[in-house]
Structure 1
Amino acid sequence: MNKFRLLLAALTVALVVRFGWHLYQMATQPAFISYRADLRRHQLRLYWKDERNRRFGSLEGLKKWLAAHQQKLVFAMNAGMFNPGYAPQGLFIEGSKVITPLDTTSGPGNFYLKPNGVLYLNTDTTAHICQTAAFRNDGQVAFATQSGPMLVVDGQIHPAFTRGSANRQIRNGVGILPNGHVLLAMSRTKISFYDFAEYFRQAGCRQALYLDGFVSRTYEHSSVQPQNDGDFGVIIGVTVPRR
């Protein structure tokens, strides 16, 4: 056992010397930064602007605001696409109030690759993802964000995605696990839509939604070097009370 540990340590040093610490980390870390939020234990919600109507913007901006309000940020990422003025593209509901309406039109770009969809959090602390055409606001929706395309639809990968596609980007998205937990994930390296959708499908998600691409950032409290930057519209965050 000691010989094995010495050999492993020597191999690690050799890889760091040969490729550098950053590339070594990329080679040895999981392919995705992810978090599974249990809504019975964690608070999950969407954030865009503070009480003074100032956009949070970055993950660091949200983290500081939450700390000032006695909340500890555990995990966060950008939560959908936005227009040049950083307003949410498509539906955004905050505190049961519709801030921007549902977009059922057609157009170019990922957002309009049908079916697109909606992530919504109900007042009973349950989370759901549905296709845009199926979304109904029954008055029980506390938070919602619209994006596109859907990654997984009823357990199947979006029909427009192609295995082996050369269209590769950093991507982040969200899925609903069989136990009702919310799976938030971002790829560490550039990945195709098909492979990203497959990650959620293999995790057991019957519904999963793409949030955004190369602008994506993820804050993970337990990370040695958590990402704190970014310049976003809406952000999704997992929090617990500060002790």
Structure 2
Amino acid sequence: MRWLVGLFLLAQGAGLPAAAVTCEDIDHLGASYTICEVTADEDLQLFLRDSAGDILGGFSAVENDTGRELAFAMNAGMYHQNRDPVGHYIEDGIQESRVISSDGPGNFGLLPNGVFCIADTLRVFETFDYLDRQPNCTHAVQSGPMLVIDSALHPQFIANGKSKFIRNGVGTSSDGSRAVFAISNNAVNFHDFGTLFRDRLSLPDALYFDGKISRLYAPSLNRSDFGWQLGSIVGVLN
């Protein structure tokens, strides 16, 4: 029996790599969410097209194209009918589409919206702040609306809003060292989704990715959502 204990302790202390992403189910205001936390030193990327230039559209396609396994992934940002990004998009330092700073129809145009930037740090920027700062993002995707801006909820959110959907998004810590991705497992309104990031996760800035089509790949939870073909995808490669 001692040798079993010894092997366990050896494995615990032998410098084995920690899981790249920590995912868990949590409750907030009577709804269930799955959250996945990623630190800035992980291989977090955006994925849109394969090596032939075609839209990947799904989690398995990312793995097939890169030849690597995903530790975590979810849809990231809104897309047109052809699945091109609605707003700003950068992948591997190459800009595919520009920033859209004007208001417009739908959730994307519900200003303020924002940009999720992957660089040495992980940041959610309000769009005009992003334009002012011009951060050097290796990967970036614009979406909207912002959920939390400097620890304040989006000004147009209503506490008892009747519009409820499965929703997903990302929040970042004040020092840029980590990002927390969340998807609701129940239909929720924007207000409650925003308070998840501000009050439950204590993150000062958070951005909405999408609703209805929201999907998560979290192998540590034996979860791989299926459904519509996706546009841009965010994920961590092992």
> Could you say what secondary structure the match of 2:46 adopts?
strand
Q: Distance in 2 between matches of 1:225 and 1:232?
A: 17
Which of 123, 142, 145 is the equivalent residue of 1:146? 142
Q: Which moved more, 1:149-158 or 1:127-136?
A: 127-136
> Could you say what secondary structure the match of 1:107 adopts?
coil
Alignment of 1:44 onto 2:44: yes
C-alpha distance after superposition, 1:195-232 (max 9, x if no partner): 00000002111000000000110000112342255411
Q: Partner amino acid for 2:173?
A: L
> Could you say what secondary structure the match of 2:224 adopts?
coil
Q: Partner amino acid for 2:69?
A: K
In the other structure, the counterpart of 1:222 is: 220
Which of 91, 96, 100 is the equivalent residue of 1:103? 100
Shift of 1:168: 0.4
Q: Distance in 1 between matches of 2:187 and 2:63?
A: 26
Q: Partner amino acid for 1:37?
A: V
Closer/same/farther in 2, CA of residues 200 and 139 from structure 1, 3 Å limit: closer
> Could you say what secondary structure the match of 2:221 adopts?
coil
Larger Rg: 1
8 Å Cα contact 1:96-1:139 kept in structure 2: no
CA RMSD of aligned residues (A): 2.0
> Could you say what secondary structure the match of 2:182 adopts?
strand
Q: Distance in 1 between matches of 2:135 and 2:205?
A: 22
Alignment of 1:177 onto 2:168: no
Shift of 1:129: 1.0
The unaligned stretches of length 5 or more in structure 1 are 1-24
Q: Partner amino acid for 2:172?
A: I
C-alpha distance after superposition, 1:2-35 (max 9, x if no partner): xxxxxxxxxxxxxxxxxxxxxxx9x9xx811111
In the other structure, the counterpart of 1:22 is: none
Closer/same/farther in 2, CA of residues 174 and 183 from structure 1, 3 Å limit: same
Q: Partner amino acid for 1:145?
A: V
> Could you say what secondary structure the match of 2:156 adopts?
coil
Count of aligned residue pairs for this structure pair = 208
TM-score, reference length from structure 1 = 0.80
Q: Distance in 2 between matches of 1:162 and 1:229?
A: 29
The unaligned stretches of length 5 or more in structure 2 are 1-24
Q: Which moved more, 1:199-208 or 1:218-227?
A: 218-227
Alignment of 1:127 onto 2:122: yes
Q: Distance in 2 between matches of 1:151 and 1:236?
A: 18
8 Å Cα contact 1:78-1:236 kept in structure 2: yes
C-alpha distance after superposition, 1:48-69 (max 9, x if no partner): 0011112110122223333x2x
Q: Distance in 2 between matches of 1:59 and 1:224?
A: 14
Q: Distance in 2 between matches of 1:92 and 1:236?
A: 12
Closer/same/farther in 2, CA of residues 152 and 227 from structure 1, 3 Å limit: same
C-alpha distance after superposition, 1:119-140 (max 9, x if no partner): 1112xx2111111111137472
In the other structure, the counterpart of 1:34 is: 35
- Spell out structure 1 runs of 4+ moving beyond 3 A: 136-139
Q: Distance in 1 between matches of 2:59 and 2:137?
A: 24
TM-score, reference length from structure 2 = 0.82
Alignment of 1:93 onto 2:90: yes
In the other structure, the counterpart of 1:8 is: none
Q: Distance in 2 between matches of 1:178 and 1:88?
A: 27
Residue identity (%): 32
Q: Distance in 2 between matches of 1:139 and 1:148?
A: 19
Q: Distance in 2 between matches of 1:31 and 1:183?
A: 15
C-alpha distance after superposition, 1:161-199 (max 9, x if no partner): 011111100000000024521101100110010000000
In the other structure, the counterpart of 2:6 is: none
In the other structure, the counterpart of 1:238 is: 236
> Could you say what secondary structure the match of 1:134 adopts?
helix
8 Å Cα contact 1:58-1:229 kept in structure 2: no
Q: Distance in 2 between matches of 1:90 and 1:59?
A: 21
Higher helix share: 1
